[in-house]
Amino acid sequence: MSTALVAPAAVADPPPADPTPAGPTAAAERRGAELEELIRREPGRFRVLTGDRPTGRLHLGHYFGTLQNRVRLQRLGVELFLIIPDYQVLTDRDVAERLSEHVEGLLLDYLAAGVDPEQAVIFNHSAVPELNQLLLPFLSLVSVAELGRNPTVKDEIAHSRQSAVSGLMFTYPVHQAADILFCRANLVPVGRDQLPHIELTRTIARRFNDRYAADRPLFPEPEALLSAAPLLLGTDGGKMSKSRGNAIALAADADETAQLIRGAKTDADRRISYDPAARPEVSSLVLLAALCQDRDPHQVAAEIGDGGAAALKRTVTEAVNGYLAPLRARRAELSGDRGELRRILRAGNERARAVAESTLDQVRAAMGTVF
Ligand code: ATP
Ligand code: MG
């Protein structure tokens, strides 16, 4: 019933393309430099948990927003837990369609991008019941008002296909807290939309520790790690998202990529510049080329100069297709061995379950529910 009360207000007032407040973003960016230094010195002190909903093909927003960072962190020696949150597919739709196809696609993208599956724990949310049991105590630690204020949830409600907001949509940031805390991850490489959720996870960890484990805190307060592209825009100028029909998939072929970029929104000014605040669409395209070529976006823009949108799009298409060619080739190779993909997931589910069982035992002990 409370969900019905939430829906109309949130839908009547659709938030802007980037609903995340500037303050937390700036703070996360500042902290990012310190974190990088700490990681470089002692990678073994960090454990990463992050993941992607199996709602479609991963896109460039994922790659430059978080996937590239995951691979980099793993190579530095940081432990990596990758969750495929299948229950979360049901936050904004009634049925999780083509689930096994999407899960397989995610795995292929991870492996093709360079994640080492022998080191990483790659697992399905639904396969770890002990993780999900954390949801009950965690829900008791947050208020309905706190959940209702979450700007990312408001944005997702505005883009949802459902007419009413489900309890799952409303509470999914608490699920995410369980996803992160079950393995005591302390580092979460994410895009900007996730910052409010990480903040809530920190609040839940703090409140749990205060209430049940004041002498020996059970949970860390995890920190977000933003990349150089914390909010890549899609071809329509909104956040690039699997579910919004505005994304360039990692698995797309070169022609599909060219066609999508040709259709991307730009503006009327022929002179290309990099100015994300004043020219978000053009700047996002410039940034994309710069990321693919590992160059400074201002330099990329200056080189295109008065070439206009057509020259910009040609540059971006070449840069993206050139950059993704090896990843796409690896992906095609790996897709031949579905048995291996299943083996990786089964092993990941088992390892995640063992970790979740141990955490739940400690939660039970802290809460006095060992019978
Ligand atoms: P959906 O539309 O189904 O919600 P999505 O494209 O938003 O899909 P998620 O699975 O919700 O993808 O997000 C997975 C991770 O990728 C999160 O850490 C999120 O911050 C990051 N991410 C998603 N889109 C972008 C983007 N456009 N720019 C930067 N990071 C992104
Ligand atoms: Mg999303």
- Measured CA to CA, the distance from residue 285 to residue 267 in angstroms comes to 12
Decide: pTM greater than 0.75: yes
What the block records as the tokens of 179 is 């996803």
96-141 pLDDT tens trace: 999 999 999 999 999 999 999 999 999 999 999 999 999 999 999 9
CATH number of the domain at 34, please.
3.40.50.620
The reply to whether 262 and 358 lie within a common domain is: no
Ligand nearest to the CA of 232: 1
Q: Does 15 score more than 60 pLDDT?
A: no
Orientation angle between helical segments 297-304 and 308-334, nearest 10 degrees:
130
Cβ(65) to ligand 1 under 6 A?
A: yes
Task: Give the pLDDT band (50/70/90) at residue 19.
Answer: low
Q: Write out the residue range of the structural domain in which residue 315 sits.
A: 254-334
State mean pLDDT over 132-153: 97
Would 238 be classed as within a structural domain? Answer: no
Buried b (16+ CB within 10 A) or exposed e, 103-113: bbbbbbbbbbb
Name the β-bridge partners of 83.
51, 123
> How many whole angstroms from 366 Cα to the centroid of ligand 2?
33
CATH number of the domain at 266, please.
1.10.240.10
The reply to whether 81 and 212 lie within a common domain is: yes
Sign of the alpha-carbon torsion through 36, 41, 45, 48: positive
CB contact at 8 A, 283 and 276? yes
Would 248 be classed as within a structural domain? Answer: no
Cβ(235) to ligand 1 under 6 A?
A: no
Average pLDDT value over all residues in the chain: 93
Orientation angle between helical segments 2-12 and 167-181, nearest 10 degrees:
100
Q: Does 12 score more than 60 pLDDT?
A: no
The reply to whether 207 and 321 lie within a common domain is: no
Per the structure, how many domains does the chain have? 2
The reply to whether 192 and 290 lie within a common domain is: no
Would 236 be classed as within a structural domain? Answer: no
What the block records as the tokens of 290 is 């710069």
| Closest to 112 in 3D by CA, of 284, 337, 339 | 337
- Higher pLDDT: 323 or 7? It is 323
Would 38 be classed as within a structural domain? Answer: yes
Name the β-bridge partners of 47.
79
- Measured CA to CA, the distance from residue 361 to residue 184 in angstroms comes to 14
Cβ(246) to ligand 1 under 6 A?
A: no
The reply to whether 346 and 308 lie within a common domain is: no
The reply to whether 123 and 213 lie within a common domain is: yes
Q: Does 5 score more than 60 pLDDT?
A: no
The reply to whether 309 and 190 lie within a common domain is: no
Cβ(191) to ligand 1 under 6 A?
A: yes
Would 4 be classed as within a structural domain? Answer: no
* Residue in 241, 248, 284, 287 to alter for ligand 1 test, most ligand atoms within 8 A of Cβ: 241
Q: What is the pLDDT of residue 1?
A: 30
Q: Does 32 score more than 50 pLDDT?
A: yes
> How many whole angstroms from 14 Cα to the centroid of ligand 2?
16
The reply to whether 106 and 214 lie within a common domain is: yes
249-297 pLDDT tens trace: 999 999 999 999 999 999 999 999 999 999 999 999 999 999 999 999 9
* Cα 331 off chain centre by: 20
The reply to whether 287 and 208 lie within a common domain is: no
- Measured CA to CA, the distance from residue 158 to residue 25 in angstroms comes to 22
The reply to whether 316 and 358 lie within a common domain is: no
